[in-house]
Amino acid sequence: MNKIMIVTGGSRGIGAATALMAAQRGYSVCVNYLHNRAAADGVVNSIEKLGRRAIAVAADMASEQDVVRLFENVDKELGRVTALVNNAGVLEKQTRLEGIDAARLTRVFATNVTGAFICSREAVRRMSTKHGGEGGGIVNVSSRASQIGSPGEYIDYAASKGAVDSLTLGLAKEVAEEGIRVNAVRPGFIYTEMHASGGEPGRVDRVKAFAPMKRGGTAEEVASAILWLLSDEASYITGAFIDVSGGR
């Protein structure tokens, strides 16, 4: 079977590391991005240098129409998807609950939750043996925040990842007999540009001491767990979570 992966938010951070590692393991890769075309093209170039196929597709995971178009592009250009990594995620400025309004909740949930649901739907329609597919794997990039709650920083983001955890549990059971495994990783403090969106680019170095291993993690360390969950080595694992968080 041709291995074809879609990585949402694959232009930077954990998504870019996952896309590259997937190519090293034989996947053709669709690198989705929102705005940063140059970064997405950079990932595609690196993959092509490895002798693998890759395409960059701009699509907003908060838009159902964009998600549907993304999957149709992949059908046409790469073939039927076999692995989906629901990685695109956003957070906003650090604040207590008193600073959160409905518009912010709508933005955060649209990308982190609705995006993961609609992408998963499109993947199931193509992977499920019930729909004539050959099976596949989905990995959701949740966060340790779903269980810690992110007090004083972004409870909204933490709650959106709680929804991603429930999606993982429910969908895993729903499609378990149809050749699809659904799992999640829950990263802790990872060195990426995401923390700048919260207003604190150096956050990992401030909080890393809270992790028993006393360091932040790398995007590659998260990518390794994602690729393992998608591999045949994890063939009897579904509805499971790997915390990639230095013990926290």
Per-residue binding letters, 159-178, with ligand NAP (x by CB under 6 A): --------------------
3-state DSSP call for residue 16? helix
Segment interacting with ligand NAP (CB under 6 A) among 20-28, 30-38, 96-104, 170-178: 30-38
3-state DSSP call for residue 155? helix
Q: Comparing C-alpha atoms, which of 196, 241, 232, 227 is closest to residue 5? A: 227
Q: Two tokens at 93?
A: 């400025």
Shortest separation between residue 87's beta carbon and ligand NAP, angstroms: 5
Shortest separation between residue 214's beta carbon and ligand NAP, angstroms: 16
Asked if residue 192 binds ligand NAP (CB under 6 A), the reply is: yes
Asked if residue 61 binds ligand NAP (CB under 6 A), the reply is: yes
Asked if residue 84 binds ligand NAP (CB under 6 A), the reply is: no
Asked if residue 14 binds ligand NAP (CB under 6 A), the reply is: yes
Asked if residue 43 binds ligand NAP (CB under 6 A), the reply is: no
Q: Residue-wise over 58-95: b if at least 16 C-beta within 10 A, else e?
A: ebbbbbbebbeebbebbeeebebbbbbbbbbbbbbebb
Quick check: 138 and 171 in contact, CB under 8 A?
A: yes
User: For residues 121-160, which are near ligand NAP according to CB under 6 A?
Assistant: 141, 143
Q: How far apart are CA 16 and CA 87, in angstroms?
A: 10
For residue 144, give Cα distances in angstroms to 105, 175, 216, 241, 244: 19, 25, 13, 10, 8
Shortest separation between residue 120's beta carbon and ligand NAP, angstroms: 14
Segment interacting with ligand NAP (CB under 6 A) among 49-57, 81-89, 122-130, 207-215: 81-89
Asked if residue 193 binds ligand NAP (CB under 6 A), the reply is: yes
Asked if residue 55 binds ligand NAP (CB under 6 A), the reply is: no
Q: How far apart are CA 139 and CA 122, in angstroms?
A: 14
Among 4, 6, 39, 139, indicate the residue that binds ligand NAP (CB under 6 A).
39
Asked if residue 184 binds ligand NAP (CB under 6 A), the reply is: no
Q: What angle do CA 50, 52, 57 make, to 5 degrees?
A: 115
Catalytic machinery residues: 157
Nearer to ligand NAP, 90 or 138 (CB): 90
Q: Comparing C-alpha atoms, which of 1, 5, 88, 87 is closest to residue 54? A: 5
Answer left, alpha or beta for residue 145, where phi above 0 means left and psi between -120 and 50 means alpha: alpha
H/E run at residue 69: helix 64-77
Segment interacting with ligand NAP (CB under 6 A) among 86-94, 205-213, 226-234, 235-243: 86-94
Residues in contact with ligand NAP by the rule CB under 6 A? 8-9, 11-15, 32-36, 39, 60-62, 87-90, 111, 141, 143, 187, 189-190, 192-194
